[in-house]
Amino acid sequence: MNSEINLTGSEWDIMKIIWEKQPCTLRQICDAVKKQHDWSRHAVISFLKRMETKGTIYVEDADPVKLYTAAVSQDDAIRQEMGSTMSRLFNDSPMMLVSYIAQSNRFTDKEIEQMIDILKEGEDRK
């Protein structure tokens, strides 16, 4: 697998299905993806081929169907995407990210208390 995980939005949607159902067949992926997108079977196959080339999924020829599994963990993919986003949008500054989130005014008092607890837990692990 490539050291850099670089998934498009559509590939993220497919990866979420694979992480949840793996190993899974093309039919299972197509059925699940229909809940969000109006993609043809051919479009899904194209995404899967591109993802295999990128090294983000494994494809096993299990007669009579192919089985798809993730070559990267969901946690690793999220961690890298978060790092890339923080670098791109917040100059690698966790404080800028937290400040932006805090200023969004979208949180209840309970959610703010939960976030404070999470930050404290992270500090305790140092």
pLDDT mean by block of 10 residues, the chain; 126 residues: 74 96 95 93 95 93 92 92 87 85 82 87 72
Give me the residues paired with residue 79 across strands. Answer: none
Q: Which domain holds residue 56?
A: 1-92
The reported pLDDT for the residue numbered 101 is 82
The reported pLDDT for the residue numbered 87 is 87
CB atoms within 10 A of CB 75: 9
Same domain, 19 and 61: yes
The reported pLDDT for the residue numbered 126 is 61
Segments of 71-115 assigned E as strands:
none
Task: Domain count for the chain, please give it.
Answer: 2
Same domain, 24 and 81: yes
- Report the distance separating Cα 74 and Cα 72, nearest Å: 7
Same domain, 8 and 19: yes
The reported pLDDT for the residue numbered 2 is 44
- Nearest to residue 28, comparing CAs of 70, 68, 59? 68
Same domain, 101 and 117: yes
Query: pTM for this one?
Result: 0.77
| CATH number for the domain that contains residue 35 | 1.10.10.10
